[in-house]
C-alpha cells in the first residue's frame, strides 16, 4: 500500500481547520469566488515556463486577492548557492489582483482567469487556507522545478479543496509529454537555454507524464481544468475569460525535432575536417581545441549536477559517454600539434580512452535500460570525435613515416 504524502496530509489538515473556523468561528459572510490565473510565458529566463496563481474574490465589493506562489528573494545571503544546488526557497505572497496584473501587463504577458464552480464550503475553506498559508511564518517552501513549484502548489490546493478530484481524474490519463519535452519546448525561443536543458537532463526526465504530473506547467494545468467536471457532472470551470492580451512570441506547441539536422551537420563537419586536414593539418589540430574544451567542460558540468547538486533530473546523464571530462586532458597535446609539434606522451592513451567511452556509449544506446532521449547529441558528437581521432592518427602516421 502506498504511503500517504506528508505534504498532502498537511494541506488537507489546514483545509479542514480553515473550514471549521469558517463555519463555526463567526464568519457569516457570503462564500468567495475562487479562480485560477494563468500567465503566459515571458522573455526573462525564469518566465519562459509561464506562471499561475489563485485569485479570491470575496464578493463584498472589495479588491480580489491574488495568491501567488512564485516569489523568491534574490537578496537572501545564500540565494546563489541554493540556486546552483537546486534547493531554492520560494514563498506564497498575497497581492491585490490589480497590482499583480499590472506587472504582467507591463511585460506584455497575457493573463486569463478560470472561475471555478466550487461549493460554498469548499471556496470558504480554500480562501481561509490561502490566507493562513500566506502569513510570513507559513509562506516559504522548498522549490523543486518539476515536482513542487508555483503551479503544482495551485494544483494541490485545488485538489485538497475538491476532495482529491484533480488527482483522481488527472493521474488516469496522459498526453505522452515528458519533463524534457516540456522544458525544452518552452525554453526553445532562447536556443541556448533550450539546448542547455536538453544537454543537462537525464533519462529520469524522459518518462511519460500523467496529466497530474504535467500540471507543473501552468498552461497544461489550465488545459486540464478546462476538461474536468464535478462528480455530479458540473464543469469545474464555470467561466473563463482573458484579462490581458499576450503580446510576446509564443513557444512552439511541440518539442522541436532536429535529429535530421544534427545528423547532417555532424557528418558534414566530420568529413569537412578530414578533407581540410590533408591540406591544413595544424588548423584542424587547432580546431580540436574548442571542441574538446567545450565537450570536457560540458562533461564536468554534468558531473557537478550529478554529484554536487539536488537537481535529481540531471543525475546519471548518459550523454557523459559522448561529452566526457577526459577531453580536457587532450588540450595540451592539441595545442602542441597546432604549433607543429608532436602531441606528447600520454596523448594517444587518453585519446583511446575517450574513443572507448564514445564506442561504449553507442553500444549501450541499444540496451533497453538506456532510455535517455539524447540521440541528437550522439549524432553531432560521435562523428566529430571520430574525425579528430582519425586526423591525429594521420599525423602520427606521417611522423612515423618521416622518422
Domain layout of the chain by residue ranges: 6-244, 259-398
- CA atoms of 214 and 307, how far apart (whole Å): 26
- CA atoms of 388 and 351, how far apart (whole Å): 10
The pLDDT of residue 52: 96
Residue 296 grid cell = 570536457
- CA atoms of 91 and 96, how far apart (whole Å): 16
E strands present in 210-346: 237-244
Residue 173 grid cell = 490519463
Give residue-wise pLDDT tens across range 305-340: 999 999 999 999 999 999 999 999 999 999 999 999
Residue range 33-50: average pLDDT?
A: 93
Nearest to 89 by CA among 391, 385, 299, 310: 310
pTM confidence score: 0.87
- CA atoms of 326 and 296, how far apart (whole Å): 6
Query: No. of H helices and E strands in the chain?
Result: 15, 7
pLDDT grade for 90, boundaries at 50, 70 and 90? very high
- CA atoms of 295 and 15, how far apart (whole Å): 51
Give residue-wise pLDDT tens across range 196-214: 999 999 999 999 999 999 9
* pLDDT over 50 (residue 43): yes
* pLDDT over 50 (residue 27): no
- Report which DSSP code applies to 235: B
E strands present in 26-154: 33-39, 51-57, 65-71, 89-96, 111-116, 140-142
Give residue-wise pLDDT tens across range 383-397: 999 999 999 999 988
- CA atoms of 315 and 202, how far apart (whole Å): 6
The pLDDT of residue 402: 59
Residue range 113-137: average pLDDT?
A: 96
pLDDT grade for 141, boundaries at 50, 70 and 90? very high
- The percentage of the chain sitting over the pLDDT mark of 90, rounded to a whole number, equals 78
Greater model confidence, 83 or 295 = 295
Q: Cell numbers 575536417 correspond to what residue?
A: 273
* pLDDT over 80 (residue 96): yes
Contact at 8 Å (CB) between 269 and 290? no
- CA atoms of 116 and 142, how far apart (whole Å): 28
The pLDDT of residue 61: 84
Give residue-wise pLDDT tens across range 344-367: 889 999 999 999 999 999 999 989
Count other C-beta atoms under 10 Å from residue 47's C-beta.
17
Average pLDDT, the chain: 91
The pLDDT of residue 28: 46
Task: Tell me the β-bridge partners of 96.
Answer: 65
Nearest to 85 by CA among 31, 142, 3, 135: 142
Residue 49 grid cell = 515556463
The pLDDT of residue 400: 74
The pLDDT of residue 13: 62
pLDDT grade for 2, boundaries at 50, 70 and 90? very low
Contact at 8 Å (CB) between 220 and 214? yes
Q: Name the burial class of residue 279, with classes exposed (0-12), middle (13-18) and buried (19+) by CB atoms within 10 angstroms of its CB.
A: exposed
Interacting residues of 80 by C-beta distance below 8 A, sequence separation 6+: none
3-class secondary-structure state, position 76: coil
- Report which DSSP code applies to 197: H
pLDDT grade for 25, boundaries at 50, 70 and 90? very low
Interacting residues of 182 by C-beta distance below 8 A, sequence separation 6+: 49, 214, 216, 217, 220
The pLDDT of residue 31: 87
* pLDDT over 70 (residue 188): yes
- CA atoms of 98 and 111, how far apart (whole Å): 12
Chain center to CA of 271: 35
- CA atoms of 9 and 160, how far apart (whole Å): 9
Residue range 284-297: average pLDDT?
A: 97
* pLDDT over 50 (residue 26): no
Greater model confidence, 149 or 76 = 149
Give residue-wise pLDDT tens across range 226-283: 999 998 999 999 999 999 999 999 898 888 888 999 999 999 999 999 999 999 999 9
Burial 24-45 (b: 16+ CB within 10 A, else e): eeeeeeebbbbbbbbbbbbeee
pLDDT grade for 7, boundaries at 50, 70 and 90? low
Amino acid at each position: 500500500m502506498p504511503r500517504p504524502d506528508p505534504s498532502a496530509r498537511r494541506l488537507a489538515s489546514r483545509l479542514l481547520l480553515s473550514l471549521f473556523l469558517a463555519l463555526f468561528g463567526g464568519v457569516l459572510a457570503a462564500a468567495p469566488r475562487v479562480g485560477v490565473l494563468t500567465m503566459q510565458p515571458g522573455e526573462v529566463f525564469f518566465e519562459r515556463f509561464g506562471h499561475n496563481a489563485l485569485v479570491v474574490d470575496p464578493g463584498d465589493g472589495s479588491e480580489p486577492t491574488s495568491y501567488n506562489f512564485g516569489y523568491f528573494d534574490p537578496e537572501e545571503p545564500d540565494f546563489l548557492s541554493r540556486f546552483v544546488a537546486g534547493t531554492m526557497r520560494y514563498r506564497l505572497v498575497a497581492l491585490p489582483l490589480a497590482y499583480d496584473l499590472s506587472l504582467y501587463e507591463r511585460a506584455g504577458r497575457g493573463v486569463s482567469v478560470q472561475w471555478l464552480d466550487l461549493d460554498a464550503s469548499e471556496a470558504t475553506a480554500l480562501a481561509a487556507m490561502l490566507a493562513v498559508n500566506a502569513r510570513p511564518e507559513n509562506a516559504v517552501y522548498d522549490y523543486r522545478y518539476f515536482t513542487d513549484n508555483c503551479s503544482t502548489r495551485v494544483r494541490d490546493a485545488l485538489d485538497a479543496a475538491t476532495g482529491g478530484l484533480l488527482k483522481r481524474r488527472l493521474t488516469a490519463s496522459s498526453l505522452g509529454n515528458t519533463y524534457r519535452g516540456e522544458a525544452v519546448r518552452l525554453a526553445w525561443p532562447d536556443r541556448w537555454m533550450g539546448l542547455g536543458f536538453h544537454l543537462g537532463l537525464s533519462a529520469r526526465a524522459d518518462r511519460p507524464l500523467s496529466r497530474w504530473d504535467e500540471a507543473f506547467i501552468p498552461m497544461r494545468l489550465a488545459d486540464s481544468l478546462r476538461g474536468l467536471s464535478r462528480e455530479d457532472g458540473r464543469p469545474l470551470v464555470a467561466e473563463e475569460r482573458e484579462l490581458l492580451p499576450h503580446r510576446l512570441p509564443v513557444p512552439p506547441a511541440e518539442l522541436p525535432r532536429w535529429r535530421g539536422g544534427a545528423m547532417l551537420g555532424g557528418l558534414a563537419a566530420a568529413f569537412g575536417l578530414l578533407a581540410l586536414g590533408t591540406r591544413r593539418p595544424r588548423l584542424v589540430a587547432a580546431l580540436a581545441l574548442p571542441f574538446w574544451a567545450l565537450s570536457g567542460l560540458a562533461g564536468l558540468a554534468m558531473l557537478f549536477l550529478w554529484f554536487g547538486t539536488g537537481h535529481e533530473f540531471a543525475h546519471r546523464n548518459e550523454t557523459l559517454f559522448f561529452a566526457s571530462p577526459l577531453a580536457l586532458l587532450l588540450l595540451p597535446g592539441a595545442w602542441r600539434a597546432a604549433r607543429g609539434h608532436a602531441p606528447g606522451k600520454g596523448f594517444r592513451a587518453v585519446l583511446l580512452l575517450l574513443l572507448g567511452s564514445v564506442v561504449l556509449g553507442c553500444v549501450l544506446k541499444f540496451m533497453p535500460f538506456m532510455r535517455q532521449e539524447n540521440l541528437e547529441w550522439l549524432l553531432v558528437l560521435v562523428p566529430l570525435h571520430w574525425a579528430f581521432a582519425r586526423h591525429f592518427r594521420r599525423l602520427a602516421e606521417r611522423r612515423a613515416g618521416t622518422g
